[in-house]
Chain A
């Protein structure tokens, strides 16, 4: 997967400077922003960020739907989407009387049910008879519930559907999409490609090739292959596979077309990608790859959000000085409160310095990327008030 190396893209020579700041409110208020996609590697707070952006946009007067993938239980409950039914549900408790808020906004939220989305696509594309055949096939069950990339692909599929509906009846003017918690942020963009290249795979084509005409030559080789597979997997596997592939064949075209359309939707100007990261080397490395990849694919990048930044400590005291003083105090009085505070200050300063260095390195390599820095909250976010607070921090960042 990521073993293939891709060239880095950057200014090649640059003098360091601060990153331009990301104006979240301008982005949310801009009526031409129709889709916001939040990407990033796992564990960086994508879901919370998407929900917070969606709430803020709604309270500022946009008609928003947020598509989340796997929200924390309490957050889902507070948004009224603890049931996985693949339908957007209205979120109650919006506030319109805050500063900068406007009336007329609304927020719907939904949690993606990957398997159901896939089933619905099959049902909409095939005759009921054929759909049933496909849905019951063990290979389909495996593909729809755990194929690496199905979740990403289905998130895109659902985005395409919601977008088409919104266009048709004006239900929403902004769609916020959370992306699946993969280790690599690139998985989201690679998923449709992976699925369609899989469907185009040589072996699938072979299974579909009738044993006559010029294909005869190939079939000789195929015999060896089939024998080997039967020996390893058992005979029933191959016949299941064949049934699945031939039943699915008529759908391939439709699938590719839909994936292509969604990909174009993501490239459109009304889409804005926000790359979410934590101030950690791995997360920022993923963010860097993603930013570069968006450029290559002509996808509109709006900016970088650095979540969970540690707050800058007050006072002008270096970590080393604080540590030395802490040790001196401890010698005199082992339980000294001031010594503990100084040790804390030293730790905090070191963390903040490291984060600042990581961010400035990112900015040097990607000088064009507007950035918002969101300080770490002490607790988890599990209600609208918490989301509102995150939204405010995003706007302040």
Chain B
């Protein structure tokens, strides 16, 4: 991709990725990056795991929007903020019923007779309509939800790549169940937003074979479902500060060990007799992994999507780490 992509018109960023690639981390960093530009951002999670609360080190989130991070005020400008929402299908259904049907007695009866539980467990179609329906409501705030915050952007920490097209394609999922009726028209409206240029689905991967393959499959599936594919975010990239020639030398076992020993001596390092062989072994291992990463990176480039890279944080991801990743996404232009 030669031209930098413009994501500024997006209202809904859907972030997916294979398990273990760090999609929740990327979703959080993206939300922070957007908020750091003065925006009001909502970060949603739908898998009932309280991952957001853990990452931001705040109390477990209820089914209500909570502000979880605010920027520092400078130059008299209003700081942006990240709000978070933990969406569970039961609460979403009850809210939906009270917002659209003023059900009152019947609403309570539904719960008492176990219908809420039934509707949200049996048919994942219904479940996904409820989850995505709430996300939709947050993006397209209307007068029914009085006093609610209007967001500049919504970031959805979505289900993993293997399930993402099915999850977003609520229309098809419902097809066999509800052919008419309000749930059906709700699904239709949600689809209109998802298929619009205001939405993009970003895929997170690491440079390993399986996750890259899944990313390629995911993109193909999203395209088949006519859902807008956004960026590919390559996460946990190893440092790239050893020259290609040196990497080749490391692989072939011909690094200049005397030179390394002299350098170490001159900087006053005494790591014992094992240090130089240790460094050489590390270099070889690194070179091997880098070669594999480069091969996978070429596959990612072949996917022909704007691609962003985040480094592997050796210390793990905490709130400070999230800020660091957010700054990178901002600099690279995704946020």
The 8 Å CB contact of B314, one of A3, A224, A347, A378, is A347
Q: A321 contacts B260, CB within 8 Å?
A: no
Q: Tell me if A268 is interfacial: C-beta within 8 Å of chain B.
A: no
The 8 Å CB contact of A229, one of B115, B123, B279, is B115
Please, how many angstroms separate the alpha-carbon atoms of A98 and B59 in the complex? 54
Q: Tell me if B58 is interfacial: C-beta within 8 Å of chain A.
A: no
A-facing residues in B160-189 (Cβ within 8 Å): 160, 162, 166, 173, 176-184
Among the stretches B30-38, B42-50, B64-72, the one at the interface with A is B42-50
**Which residue of chain B is the closest to A227 with respect to CB atoms?**
B106
Q: A340 contacts B115, CB within 8 Å?
A: no
Q: A234 contacts B180, CB within 8 Å?
A: yes
Q: Tell me if A295 is interfacial: C-beta within 8 Å of chain B.
A: no
**Which residue of chain B is the closest to A201 with respect to CB atoms?**
B114
Interface size for chain A: under 10, 10 to 19, 20 to 34, or 35 or more residues? 35 or more
Q: With A3-B48, A234-B181 as given contacts, are A314 and B282 in contact (CB-CB < 8 Å)?
A: yes
Please, how many angstroms separate the alpha-carbon atoms of A314 and B178 in the complex? 63
Q: B18 contacts A142, CB within 8 Å?
A: no
A-facing residues in B103-123 (Cβ within 8 Å): 103, 105-107, 109-110, 112-115, 117-118, 121-123
- Taking CB atoms, residues of chain A closer than 8 Å to B97 are 228, 232
C-beta contact mask, A213-229 vs B, less than 8 Å → 1, else 0?
00000000110110111
Q: B114 contacts A202, CB within 8 Å?
A: yes
C-beta contact mask, A117-153 vs B, less than 8 Å → 1, else 0?
0000000000000000000001101110011100000
- Taking CB atoms, residues of chain A closer than 8 Å to B21 are 43
Q: Tell me if A91 is interfacial: C-beta within 8 Å of chain B.
A: no
Q: Tell me if A356 is interfacial: C-beta within 8 Å of chain B.
A: no
C-beta contact mask, B252-269 vs A, less than 8 Å → 1, else 0?
000110011001100111
Q: With A141-B176, A313-B278 as given contacts, are A328 and B267 in contact (CB-CB < 8 Å)?
A: yes
- Taking CB atoms, residues of chain B closer than 8 Å to A147 are 121-122, 124
Q: B49 contacts A184, CB within 8 Å?
A: yes
Q: Tell me if A181 is interfacial: C-beta within 8 Å of chain B.
A: yes
Among the stretches A26-34, A154-162, A330-338, A364-372, the one at the interface with B is A330-338
Please, how many angstroms separate the alpha-carbon atoms of A337 and B159 in the complex? 42
C-beta contact mask, A273-297 vs B, less than 8 Å → 1, else 0?
0000010111100000000000000
Q: Tell me if B196 is interfacial: C-beta within 8 Å of chain A.
A: no
Please, how many angstroms separate the alpha-carbon atoms of A207 and B184 in the complex? 23
Please, how many angstroms separate the alpha-carbon atoms of A322 and B269 in the complex? 8
Q: Tell me if A8 is interfacial: C-beta within 8 Å of chain B.
A: no
Q: Tell me if B95 is interfacial: C-beta within 8 Å of chain A.
A: no
Please, how many angstroms separate the alpha-carbon atoms of A278 and B21 in the complex? 12
Q: B210 contacts A72, CB within 8 Å?
A: yes
- Taking CB atoms, residues of chain B closer than 8 Å to A183 are 19, 47, 49, 160
The 8 Å CB contact of A139, one of B122, B180, B263, B289, is B122
- Taking CB atoms, residues of chain B closer than 8 Å to A338 are 259-260, 263-264, 279
Q: With A314-B275, A347-B314, A380-B209 as given contacts, are A341 and B283 in contact (CB-CB < 8 Å)?
A: yes
- Taking CB atoms, residues of chain B closer than 8 Å to A146 are 124-125, 166, 173
The 8 Å CB contact of B19, one of A181, A224, A233, is A181
Q: B243 contacts A143, CB within 8 Å?
A: no
- Tell me the smallest distance from the CB of A161 to a CB of chain B, in Å: 25
Q: Tell me if A348 is interfacial: C-beta within 8 Å of chain B.
A: yes
- Tell me the smallest distance from the CB of B160 to a CB of chain A, in Å: 7
- Tell me the smallest distance from the CB of A329 to a CB of chain B, in Å: 6
Q: B176 contacts A138, CB within 8 Å?
A: yes
Q: Tell me if A231 is interfacial: C-beta within 8 Å of chain B.
A: yes
The 8 Å CB contact of A237, one of B113, B177, B208, is B177
Q: Is the interface of A mostly helix, strand, loop or mixed?
A: helix
Q: Tell me if B88 is interfacial: C-beta within 8 Å of chain A.
A: yes
Q: Tell me if B333 is interfacial: C-beta within 8 Å of chain A.
A: no
Q: A316 contacts B122, CB within 8 Å?
A: no
Q: B269 contacts A225, CB within 8 Å?
A: no
The 8 Å CB contact of A234, one of B178, B256, B282, is B178
Q: Tell me if B241 is interfacial: C-beta within 8 Å of chain A.
A: yes
Q: Tell me if B286 is interfacial: C-beta within 8 Å of chain A.
A: yes
Q: Tell me if B302 is interfacial: C-beta within 8 Å of chain A.
A: no
The 8 Å CB contact of B181, one of A206, A232, A354, is A232
- Taking CB atoms, residues of chain A closer than 8 Å to B179 are 234, 236
- Taking CB atoms, residues of chain A closer than 8 Å to B103 are 228
**Which residue of chain B is the closest to A285 with respect to CB atoms?**
B54
Q: A344 contacts B283, CB within 8 Å?
A: yes
Q: B267 contacts A329, CB within 8 Å?
A: yes
Q: B181 contacts A203, CB within 8 Å?
A: no
C-beta contact mask, A355-397 vs B, less than 8 Å → 1, else 0?
0000000000000000000000011101000000000000000
- Taking CB atoms, residues of chain B closer than 8 Å to A225 are 106, 109-110, 113, 115
- Taking CB atoms, residues of chain A closer than 8 Å to B76 are none
- Taking CB atoms, residues of chain B closer than 8 Å to A142 are 122-125, 176-177
Q: Tell me if B242 is interfacial: C-beta within 8 Å of chain A.
A: yes
- Tell me the smallest distance from the CB of B2 to a CB of chain A, in Å: 28
**Which residue of chain B is the closest to A70 with respect to CB atoms?**
B162
The 8 Å CB contact of A315, one of B48, B160, B243, B272, is B272
Q: With A329-B267, A341-B282, A348-B282 as given contacts, are A316 and B314 in contact (CB-CB < 8 Å)?
A: no
- Taking CB atoms, residues of chain B closer than 8 Å to A234 are 178-184
Q: A314 contacts B124, CB within 8 Å?
A: no
Q: Tell me if B320 is interfacial: C-beta within 8 Å of chain A.
A: no
C-beta contact mask, A186-217 vs B, less than 8 Å → 1, else 0?
00000000100010011110100000000000
- 26 contacting pairs across A/B (C-beta < 8 A): A2-B49, A142-B124, A142-B177, A183-B19, A203-B113, A203-B118, A222-B113, A225-B106, A228-B101, A233-B182, A233-B183, A234-B178, A235-B181, A240-B177, A283-B20, A315-B272, A315-B275, A316-B271, A317-B275, A329-B263, A337-B243, A340-B246, A342-B279, A343-B241, A344-B286, A382-B209
Binding site for B on A (CB under 8 A): 1-3, 41-44, 70, 72-73, 138-139, 141-143, 146-148, 181, 183-184, 194, 198, 201-204, 206, 221-222, 224-225, 227-237, 240, 278, 280-283, 311, 313-317, 321-322, 325, 328-329, 335-348, 350-351, 354, 378-380, 382
Given A231-B101, A321-B269, A344-B239, 18 more pairs with CB closer than 8 A: A142-B125, A142-B176, A198-B122, A221-B112, A225-B106, A228-B103, A228-B110, A232-B97, A234-B184, A283-B20, A315-B275, A315-B279, A338-B259, A340-B241, A345-B278, A347-B312, A347-B314, A378-B292
